[in-house]
Amino acid sequence: MNELATADTSRPVQLVARELANSSGYLLARLGLAFKLQATERAEASGFELYDYSVLAILGEGSRETQATIADALTLDPSRLVALLDSLEERDMVERQRDPQDRRRHVVSITNSGRKELARVRAIISQLEGEFFAPLDSANREALHTMLAALATQNDPRCCPLDDEE
């Protein structure tokens, strides 16, 4: 139940301060949060946590990873990753195996079922992106992405190390 929808008769809609709306940083933060919330909402409606997608995406690309490297890539505390992997493993999307070389390590890999589920979440997020960026035409969307990538590269090189073309 959205209270904003019911309040529109009682008082005029309060606008964000112009000063903030004129700030690209503010818009960036606001839109970024909005996108994340919507992505979370849709993913959860289909039985995924948003982090599930990140984990599956990493495992779907790279070779088999150890928990420490996954946590590192996600900038996530290893202790938080445990519950995520427990859940993914219960649902047969990933497998944990002891590394014979170093029996302290768990080698995590994606299962066939996990790849199918990855395709499902990918489609959900992709659909959302289409809607979210709909106000921009294709050329502008590409220009936006290039600029965001440039900012991300400065902000955290781990994000977009080389401007490699898709």
Q: How far is the CB of 121 from a copy of itself (least distance, A)?
A: 10
Q: Which stretch binds a copy of itself (CB under 8 A): 81-89, 91-99, 105-113, 150-158?
A: 150-158
Q: How far is the CB of 30 from a copy of itself (least distance, A)?
A: 7
33 contact choice in DNA, a copy of itself, none (CB below 5 to 8 Å, kind-dependent): a copy of itself
Q: Which long-range contacts (CB under 8 A, 24 or more apart) does 76-80 make?
A: 76/51
End-to-end CA, the chain: 41
Interacting residue with a copy of itself among 82, 119, 123, 147 (CB under 8 A) = 147
Interacting residue with a copy of itself among 27, 91, 107, 138 (CB under 8 A) = 27
134 contact choice in a copy of itself, DNA, none (CB below 5 to 8 Å, kind-dependent): a copy of itself
Question: Residue 93: which residues within 8 A CB-CB, separation 6 or more?
Answer: 52, 56, 110, 111, 113, 114, 117, 118
Interacting residue with a copy of itself among 43, 85, 108, 125 (CB under 8 A) = 125
Partners of 108 in the β-ladder: 65, 96
Q: Token pair of 32, please?
A: 């970024």
| 3 state SS of 65 | strand
Question: Residue 95: which residues within 8 A CB-CB, separation 6 or more?
Answer: 89, 108, 109, 110, 111
Angle at which helices 50-61 and 112-132 cross, to 10°: 120
60 contact choice in a copy of itself, DNA, none (CB below 5 to 8 Å, kind-dependent): a copy of itself
Q: How far is the CB of 7 from a copy of itself (least distance, A)?
A: 8
Residues that bind a copy of itself in the complex, under the rule CB under 8 A = 7, 11, 13-25, 27-36, 39, 54, 57-58, 60-62, 68-70, 72-73, 122, 125, 128-129, 132-136, 140-141, 143-145, 147-156, 158-161, 166
